[in-house]
Chains A and B, each alone.
Chain A
Amino acid sequence: MTDPVLATHGISKSFGALKASSDISITLRPGEIHAIIGPNGAGKSTLIGQICGALTPDAGRVELMGRDVTALTPAQRARAGLGRTFQISALAMEDTVLENAILGALGASARPWRFWASALGDKSLRQRAEAALERVGLADARAKRCADLSHGERRQLEVALALTLSPRAFVMDEPMAGLGAAGSKEMTGFLDGLRQQAPILLVEHDMDAVFALADRISVLVYGTVIASGSVAEIRSDPEVRAAYLGDPA
């Protein structure tokens, strides 16, 4: 089996008496989409927070391409190749699509310390940004203000931002949230193609999307992974059905 791109080894995190993560070990292998599902309050956000660096685990470690990144800040992890999109939109609403993408490219270049020359005039930043917009299908909307985009377009732009960093792995927190049926379908198709670029750790409530996309699913309940396996295995797992999926469909 190939080495995982992203892995957690027994991470645990408590908030007071509440064990939000207990001894979680998951992996993300090249080319796959690994979905994390679980009811509200199962600790999905806490897990993502620890993977991306917003939270520090009490125990265990996070590895990105075999390198221990547990002590790195979110910014350092992003530069190391962890591309992340957010549950709450992190875009600069007053800026244009192109400016937002250039911002992403700027992060990749790690050279924001230029105070005079226009960022839009920087060729290498611009190329990188436009390539990413092209990739997500937003090239024609580059002059639009971000605030004027549809919800789905904003999601695409977020992915473009993550793409400018040439990530080795994506972490996506509910990319389908707020999208209509048509938007979800389009996003599903888009993510399906994206896994070739870099594997995706996907936290998502939309079960149709999860079952359509995921190569593997891990089910998180009360901070513990109660099951992990293929779509078919998860669908038929009695414990999962009891805890989460409800009665047979």
Chain B
Amino acid sequence: MNRETLFNAALLLGLIAVPAWAVIADEPFTITLATRAVILALAAAGLNIALGIGGLVSLGHAVFFGIGGYAMGILAYHAQSYSSLMDWPLVIEGTKSMPVIWIVAMIVSALAALVIGVLSLRTTGAYFIMITLAFGQMFYYFAISWSAYGGEDGMSIYVRNDFPGLNTLVPIQFYGLCLVVLLLVLLLSARLRRAPFGLALDSAQAVGLDPMRLKLVAFVISGVITGLAGALYADLNRFVSPTMFSWQLSGELMVLVILGGVGRLFGPVAGAVAFVALEHFLGGLTEFWHIFLGLILLAVVMFARGGLTGLIAGRELRHD
């Protein structure tokens, strides 16, 4: 076992031990914090596929996060108000079922990623960043002006959605669900980067593969995962608003990935845990905690290019 494996195992153990302690000590707020960390880690794990494996610096991943959020919000809103989403040509009702909401969130995110990807992957570097940012802003202002679904104020969903066999209102059960989703996505990421697809993403045209299509598919997979995280995030807060589409959120996701270690399997998890912990503890001390986050990020970028994972586990060892 190398140091990175140990580091990852320690993180994973913490994600199990801390909430378990919180259940025993009856500290539901700690579980909520941990759930927030896990969902943000999931969103960042999505971005890490585009950024870490595909080398695509997307400053528009809030689009998918927001789409996931609004997929949940819109479907649950119609279910709680007993109105139908659409009457013609076929009747579509709202739903409170998480699996259905997730599937819708993922499909819509995939379509959005496909369109955004086709248009923005023609460019590279700063232009790619700007185009993805521009798409994010388009969705943001659209959500603000979409008065049918709360406009600027967003929407509250009164009861958390259902998952078969679970009582999602019990914090630890919802946490467990989110953790399982995160672990499945991390497993997929780990396989993906070693599979022909992941290897080919590194490739040059020299070997006769079309890098555009590979990058596009990576971008879509990335968007789908971040979209799923958005649906869970909305369910955690039982609230959806245009801020889920904001460029600050895109930036935050990128901060999580860089803080944790770009391209490292557990980087997004390390980044999200550190972010939520800082937000909670520093945020309790001062309103201006972002200043300290900024300093930490600066230190990470300047002195520890592998992020927290690189700092603790050393340079990447990808080979057994």
- A95–B316 CA distance with the chains assembled, in angstroms: 11
> Within residues 179 to 212 of chain B, which ones have a CB less than 8 A from any CB in chain A?
188, 191-192, 194-200, 202-211
What are the interface flags for A79-103 relative to B under an 8 Å C-beta threshold, 1 for contact and 0 otherwise? 1000011100010101110010011
Q: Which residues of A contact B214 (CB under 8 A)?
A: 112
Given A94-B316, A103-B200, A118–B195 Cβ distance below 8 Å?
A: yes
Are A75 and B205 neighbours in the complex by a CB distance under 8 Å?
A: yes
* Interface membership of chain B positions 70-90, coded 1 if the CB is closer than 8 angstroms to chain A and 0 otherwise: 000000000000000000000
Q: Taking the complex as formed, is A110 at the interface, i.e. its CB lies under 8 A from any CB of chain B?
A: yes
Question: Among B192, B197, B217, B318, which residue has the most Cβ atoms of chain A within 10 A?
Answer: B197
Give Cα distance in the complex from A165 to B198, angstroms: 19
| A220 in contact (CB, < 8 A) | no
| Chain A residue at smallest Cβ distance from B217 | A113
Establish whether residues B200 and A106, one from each chain, have CB atoms under 8 Å apart when the complex forms: yes
Decide: A79 near B319, CB < 8 A? Known: A95-B202, A112-B196: no
Q: In the complex where A94-B318, A103-B200, A103-B203 touch, is A79 in contact with B195 (Cβ < 8 A)? A: no
A200 contacts chain B at the CB level, 8 A cutoff = no
CB pair A106 B210 closer than 8 Å:
no
User: Are A84 and B209 CB-contacts (below 8 A) given A112-B200, A119-B194?
Assistant: no
Distance of B220 from chain A, by nearest CB (Å): 12
**A71 to B188 CA separation, bound complex (whole angstroms):** 38
CB distance A106 to B207 under 8 Å? Answer: yes
Chain B hits for A102, CB < 8 A: 199
The 8 Å CB contact of A107, one of B194, B209, B318, is: B209
Contact residues in B for A79 (Cβ distance below 8 Å): 208
Contact assessment for A164 and B207 in the assembled complex, using a CB-CB cutoff below 8 Å: yes
- Residue numbers in B under 8 Å from A112 (CB-CB): 196-197, 199-200, 203, 209, 214
A247 within 8 A of B: no
Contact pick for B208, options A86, A107, A116, A119, CB 8 Å: A107
Contact of A120 among B194, B204, B205, B210 (CB under 8 A): B194
Closest chain-A Cβ to B292's Cβ sits at a distance in Å of 32
| A141, B202: Cα distance in complex, Å | 20
List B contacts of A95 (CB < 8 A).
Answer: 199, 202, 318
Query: Which residue of chain B has its CB nearest to the CB of A162?
Result: B206
Task: Name the interface residues of B110-156: CB closer than 8 Å to any CB of A.
Answer: none
Instruction: Report, as a range, how many residues of chain B touch the other chain.
Output: 20 to 34
A108 interface residue per 8 A CB criterion: yes
Q: Is A122 an interface residue (CB 8 A)?
A: yes
- A107 and B316 within 8 A (CB): no
- Whether B195 contacts A86 by the Cβ 8 Å rule is no
- Please state if A165 and B208 are interface contacts (CB–CB under 8 Å): yes
A108 vs B209: C-alpha distance when bound (angstroms) = 8
Contact check, A115 vs B206: say whether CB atoms are below 8 A apart: no
In this complex, the member of A75, A84, A164 whose beta carbon has the largest number of chain B beta carbons within 10 angstroms is A75
A104 at the interface (CB under 8 A from B): yes
Closest to B191 in A: A116
Task: Give B49 Cβ to nearest chain A Cβ, in Å.
Answer: 11
Query: What residues of chain A lie closer than 8 Å to B217, measured between beta carbons?
Result: 113
Contact between chains at A78 and B205 (CB < 8 Å): yes
How far apart are B90's CB and chain A's nearest CB, in angstroms? 33
Whether a CB of chain B sits under 8 angstroms from the CB of A198 is no
- With A and B bound together, what is the CA distance between A106 and B204 in angstroms? 12
A113 contacts across to B, CB distance below 8 A: 196-197, 217
A73 touches B210 (CB 8 A): yes
A161 to B199, CA, bound (A): 14
C-alpha gap A143/B192 in the complex (Å): 21
> Complex: how many Å from CA A58 to CA B209?
25
Expressed in whole angstroms, the minimum distance between the Cβ of A101 and any Cβ of chain B is: 10
A90 touches B195 (CB 8 A): no
CB-CB nearest in chain B for A92: B202
Q: How many Å lie between the Cα of A86 and that of B198 in the bound state?
A: 22
Task: Determine the chain A residues whose CB is within 8 A of the CB of B316 once the complex forms.
Answer: 94
Specify which chain B residues have a CB less than 8 angstroms from the CB of A116 in the assembled complex. Answer: 191-192, 195
Name the residue in B197, B209, B210, B211 with the highest tally of chain A Cβ atoms < 10 Å from its Cβ: B209
> Residue A111 at the B interface, CB < 8 A?
yes
**A90 with B204, Cβ < 8 A, contacts A119-B194, A119-B196, A125-B196 known:** yes
CB of B293 to closest CB in A, whole Å: 29
**Could you tell me which residues of chain A, from 61 to 81, have a CB within 8 Å of some CB in chain B?**
73-76, 78-79
Q: How far is the CB of B194 from chain A (nearest CB, A)?
A: 5
Interface positions, chain B 266-320, Cβ under 8 Å from A, are 316, 318-319
CB atoms of A103 and B199 under 8 A apart: yes
16 CB contacts below 8 A, A to B, read A78-B206, A86-B204, A90-B204, A95-B199, A102-B199, A103-B207, A112-B196, A112-B200, A112-B203, A114-B195, A117-B196, A118-B194, A118-B195, A119-B195, A119-B199, A162-B206
Q: Beyond the given A106-B196, A106-B209, A115-B192, could you list 14 further A-B residue pairs with CB under 8 A, ordered by the A residue number?
A: A90-B204, A92-B202, A95-B199, A95-B318, A102-B199, A107-B203, A107-B207, A112-B196, A112-B209, A113-B197, A114-B195, A115-B197, A118-B191, A119-B194
Instruction: Give chain B's interface residues, CB within 8 Å of chain A.
Output: 188, 191-192, 194-200, 202-211, 214, 217, 316, 318-319
